[in-house]
Amino acid sequence: MGSRVAVVVLTGAGTSADSGLATFRGAGGTWEGYRVEDVATPEAWARDPALVWRFYQMRRAGLGAVEPNAAHFALARMERELHAAGHGFTLISQNVDDLHQRAGSTVLAMHGQLLQLACERCGTVTVDSEHLDPERFVPCDACGYERLRPDIVWFGELPKLLDEIEAALAACTHFVSIGTSGVVYPAAGLLARARERGALTFVNSLDQPENLHPTDRFLPGRAALVMPPAIERWLVEWMK
Ligand code: OAD
């Protein structure tokens, strides 16, 4: 075996677009008719929890109608094969859907998860895919508080798992960005940080993301079409 590789992959909404989930920006993406500040900030939750809850309940219910696509499965295979051969692999996702997990990946879900609810009073995080009524809040089983919130990182809040992400980045030899517009920080800064530490960098997206640099290898096109053959090639090349 050649030298050890440590691959870090960062995914965004474009990775799930081929499964039928809308992106936020670019390529026709919208926030499903909502303004960000009305549904994805702690201020919105404090001001109008019923509106925010309805928005997230719709998105939580929508997960039942979608399946992982070929890009999710190819990344899960990449993780299995690299780990089996003693290499490093870390998948970081900004996505709050559970499609990576369903495809078999281990994920650092830095913006939270739709299928988790969190108690603002006692801090308990609950996995829940059953209470999907848009008009009913879910109480906390642990402390009885009447209204769990979506366990989602909203604008103005700190992303999760930053220590684990730092550790992966510090060892990274190859960095792959998939389906993210490169505008939301700190996620958007990971590509430049990997580049600075000498990693080879690869970027797939439909539109050129804002954080693309001339030294990145850009792979334009739909993730479900572009990523499986790219991953196939990399596994052969990187594990020589
Ligand atoms: P965006 O919606 O900002 O960007 C999606 C990117 O995916 C765009 O660059 C598109 O060109 C690309 N794209 C669309 N369809 C694609 C496809 N089939 N294959 C490959 N690429 C495709 O989504 P993110 O960058 O993930 O935060 O957004 C970052 C964060 O902004 C999200 O995590 C979300 C939002 O605020 C939270 O929910 C906390």
CATH number for the domain that contains residue 53: 3.30.1600.10
Ligand 1 mutation target, pool 34, 37, 99, 206, most atoms within 8 A of CB? 206
User: Among candidates 202, 150, 205, which has minimal Cα distance to 181?
Assistant: 205
With a 6 Å cutoff on the Cβ, whether 12 touches ligand 1 is yes
pTM for the model stands at: 0.96
24 pLDDT band, cuts 50/70/90, is confident
With a 6 Å cutoff on the Cβ, whether 94 touches ligand 1 is yes
Number of structural domains, the chain? 2
We report the CATH number of the domain holding residue 209 as: 3.40.50.1220
Q: How much distance in Å is there from the Cα of 73 to the middle of ligand 1?
A: 19
* 181 and 239 housed in the same domain: yes
Write the DSSP symbol of residue 187: G
With a 6 Å cutoff on the Cβ, whether 222 touches ligand 1 is yes
Q: With contact defined as beta carbons under 8 Å apart, do 190 and 216 qualify?
A: no
Does residue 2 surpass a pLDDT of 90? Answer: no
Final residue belonging to a domain, choices 121, 152, 183: 152
* 205 and 170 housed in the same domain: yes
Task: Please say whether the dihedral angle defined by the alpha carbons of residues 33, 36, 42 and 43, taken in this order, is positive or negative.
Answer: negative
What residues does 218 pair with on adjacent strands? Answer: 203
Q: What is the pLDDT of residues 84-94, one digit of tens each?
A: 999 999 999 99
* 162 and 217 housed in the same domain: yes
* 56 and 168 housed in the same domain: no
Residue 230 CA to residue 27 CA, distance in Å, equals 22
Q: Is 174 a catalytic residue?
A: no
- Dihedral of the CA atoms 69, 219, 191, 174 (nearest 10)? 80
Q: Please give the pLDDT value at position 35.
A: 74
* 6 and 37 housed in the same domain: no
Domain that holds residue 137: 23-65+112-152
Q: What is the pLDDT of residues 137-195, one digit of tens each?
A: 999 999 999 999 999 999 999 999 999 999 999 999 999 999 999 999 999 999 999 99
